[in-house]
Amino acid sequence: MKFVAAAIMLTLLCGLPMPGQCDTGGCKLSVELFSDSPLLSYITGKPYSLNLRLTNPTGDEIALEELEIVGRSDNKDVAIDIKPVGDAPKSVAAGQEAVASYTLTFPETVGNKVVVFTGSAKCSIGGDVKGELQVLVTPSIELTMLPTRMILKSSKEENRVGVSVINHLDSMFSGKITLNASPGLKVSSTADNIRVDPYGLEAFLFSVKPEGALVPGHYAVYIDVAGKLKDWIAIDAPVFANKPAESIVVDGKLGDWKGAAAVAIARLIDGSKWEKIGKAHFAWDKTNLYLAIEVSDDNQCSTDTIVIGFDPNINGAKAAGGGYNDDDYEITLRGAEAGSTALLTWSAGKPQDIQTDIPFAFSREGDKSRYEIAIPWSEAKPFKPAKGAKFAMSILVNDSDGGAVTQTEWGGGLAGQVDPRKFVPVVLQ
Ligand SMILES: [Ca+2]
Ligand SMILES: [Ca+2]
Ligand SMILES: [Ca+2]
């Protein structure tokens, strides 16, 4: 028994030309994909038959030339290997149909992608005809992990991750699931055998825990299902910002920052060695987020800047390739002992160049540049400061003395393409 895709049935039932069919006044071509078992979804690793059906509504025989079928993932990066079955028809008799048959198997690389099949032919009546079919391909073994991004709650607590494996095949799936964590993280199990019934689902939990106090930043847990599927979840170790031990005076002197959360700002030299160029301190109260940034810079110029990106809602990027969302904002600090400026350089979904009156002070001592700033929470609307509330941010240091600019980031997602997904969460405590 053959089961033809519902989309194509619709195409054939309707008299009007549909995406899969072109009315040229001569022959018509449609693309049909089917399998020998019920079609719940198109899956990888399973053979399918494909037909190019040419219909001749005219009263004359139509000769066919250059019959062709191409299948590609919609992002064009995977081509499907389509094999002909038997000889292609050379003509379609008056009022009849002719079918060219093919077989194909979707490779694992098109799992979760749309595949576009385009059939074409040259007809002696009606000229060039084209037919198209789009299908969403499901991996034969489907893996889901929740959450897909995790912010660690503390240095001690276990954080649970739910995993489900769906078997779309009509045979038992068994294999080994391997978990690998970034250094500094521990997962509750590293390798387990899993058996999933035909068309069945198996779900399990594992937990992730820091091995000790983790440096705030980005970590990951990688999962491998029997070498067939690989995925990962982003694990962020947040900065835990506290209320200041004594009230912070925005004066460029950092003696009032004792005990505050701090992170190192460092850059990778020659791809292997980290060089620390500075540090950033975090503190908060009900009015402000306080930041103090100290960087080593032997030549302080008015073009040296610090860029701070904020993602109040931790809601990812504008597009797959990155970009600020409407809630995000960016402040650029320009230090000069004669008068420093805090510019709002991104807000409300567009670039800005607004000089703010955010309290900001800059000082120099030896080769150290110090930036101290109190950012009112009103700048971070709709974010509301409270114990346990979190947002994400990143810091970019631009050392710009007239020649090439040296950029050093804490967090990421500010140098080059802006991407708030790379910002690091800050949790208020
Ligand atoms: Ca101070
Ligand atoms: Ca400089
Ligand atoms: Ca955002």
Main-chain phi, psi angles of 123, to 5 degrees: -110, 140
Ligand number, closest to the Cα atom of 404: 2
Are 34 and 53 within 8 A, CB to CB? Answer: no
Retrieve residue 309's tokens.
């990106």
Assess whether 287 and 360 both reside in one domain.
yes
Retrieve residue 398's tokens.
């631009």
Q: Show which of 237, 262, 283 is a domain's final residue.
A: 237
Determine the straight-line distance between the first and last CA of the chain, rounded to whole angstroms. Answer: 64
Ligand number, closest to the Cα atom of 257: 1
CA of 371 to the centre of ligand 1 (A): 9
Assess whether 24 and 102 both reside in one domain.
yes
Assess whether 203 and 336 both reside in one domain.
no
CA of 166 to the centre of ligand 3 (A): 32
CA of 347 to the centre of ligand 3 (A): 11
Ligand number, closest to the Cα atom of 419: 3
d(CA 133, CA 21): 9
Assess whether 107 and 46 both reside in one domain.
yes
CA of 301 to the centre of ligand 2 (A): 5
- Please state the pTM of the whole predicted model: 0.74
**DSSP state, residue 9:** H
Q: Which one, of 205, 149, 212, lies nearest residue 184 by Cα?
A: 212
Kindly report the CATH number assigned to the domain that includes residue 247.
2.60.40.1190
CA of 222 to the centre of ligand 3 (A): 25
**C-alpha 161, offset from chain centre:** 19
Question: In the prediction, which pLDDT does 282 show?
Answer: 98
Retrieve residue 285's tokens.
């109260």
Ligand number, closest to the Cα atom of 283: 1
Assess whether 363 and 255 both reside in one domain.
yes
Assess whether 208 and 356 both reside in one domain.
no
Q: Which one, of 304, 256, 300, lies nearest residue 281 by Cα?
A: 256
Are 45 and 169 within 8 A, CB to CB? Answer: yes
| Residue 127, CA distances (Å) to 27, 65, 67, 87 in order | 8, 10, 12, 22
Residue-wise DSSP of 98-123: EEEEEEEE--GGGTTSEEEEEEEEEE
CA of 259 to the centre of ligand 1 (A): 13
Assess whether 221 and 111 both reside in one domain.
no
Are 146 and 156 within 8 A, CB to CB? Answer: no
Mean pLDDT by 10 residues, the chain (429 residues): 42 41 72 80 89 93 95 91 96 94 94 94 92 93 90 84 90 93 90 90 93 91 89 94 95 95 92 92 97 96 95 94 95 86 95 96 96 94 92 97 93 95 96
Nearest-5° Cα angle at 377, 345 to 237: 85
CA of 361 to the centre of ligand 1 (A): 8
CA of 239 to the centre of ligand 2 (A): 27
CA of 363 to the centre of ligand 2 (A): 14
Assess whether 124 and 178 both reside in one domain.
no
Retrieve residue 108's tokens.
């694992």
Q: Is 271 exposed, middle or buried (0-12, 13-18, 19+ CB in 10 A)?
A: exposed
Cα pseudo-dihedral 333, 334, 339, 344, rounded to 10: -50
CA of 297 to the centre of ligand 2 (A): 5
Q: Which one, of 427, 425, 399, 429, lies nearest residue 412 by Cα?
A: 425
Question: In the prediction, which pLDDT does 15 show?
Answer: 36
Ligand number, closest to the Cα atom of 277: 2
CA of 419 to the centre of ligand 3 (A): 10
Are 371 and 306 within 8 A, CB to CB? Answer: yes
Assess whether 191 and 249 both reside in one domain.
no
Q: Show which of 201, 221, 237 is a domain's final residue.
A: 237
CA of 401 to the centre of ligand 2 (A): 5
CA of 326 to the centre of ligand 3 (A): 7
105 DSSP β-pair partners: 47
Assess whether 224 and 250 both reside in one domain.
no
* Owner of token pair 């509504």: 57
CA of 286 to the centre of ligand 1 (A): 18
Q: Which one, of 111, 4, 107, 113, lies nearest residue 50 by Cα?
A: 4
CA of 238 to the centre of ligand 3 (A): 16
CA of 383 to the centre of ligand 3 (A): 10
Each residue of 349-394: pLDDT tens digit? 999 999 999 999 999 999 999 999 999 999 888 899 999 999 999 9
Kindly report the CATH number assigned to the domain that includes residue 34.
2.60.40.10
CA of 347 to the centre of ligand 1 (A): 27
CA of 267 to the centre of ligand 2 (A): 15
Retrieve residue 156's tokens.
């001690």
Ligand number, closest to the Cα atom of 362: 1
Are 18 and 10 within 8 A, CB to CB? Answer: yes
**DSSP state, residue 421:** G
Which range of residues forms the domain containing residue 49?
3-138
Are 148 and 89 within 8 A, CB to CB? Answer: no
Assess whether 134 and 256 both reside in one domain.
no
Beta pairing class for 288-296 and 329-334: unpaired
CA of 256 to the centre of ligand 3 (A): 31
Assess whether 96 and 159 both reside in one domain.
no
For the chain, the domain total comes to 3
| Residue 392, CA distances (Å) to 306, 388, 422 in order | 17, 13, 9
Ligand number, closest to the Cα atom of 391: 3
Are 118 and 130 within 8 A, CB to CB? Answer: yes
Where are the alpha helices (H) located in 23-178, listed in sequence order? none
Q: Show which of 106, 138, 170 is a domain's final residue.
A: 138
| Maximum distance among all Cα pairs of the chain, rounded to whole angstroms | 94
* Owner of token pair 């701090």: 262
Are 231 and 144 within 8 A, CB to CB? Answer: no
Retrieve residue 239's tokens.
């900065």
CA of 247 to the centre of ligand 1 (A): 9
Retrieve residue 278's tokens.
């500075």
CA of 367 to the centre of ligand 2 (A): 10
3-state helix, strand, coil in the chain (%, to 5): 5, 55, 40
- For ligand 3, an ion, list residues with CB under 5 A: 311, 313, 315, 325, 327-328
CA of 151 to the centre of ligand 3 (A): 16
d(CA 20, CA 132): 5
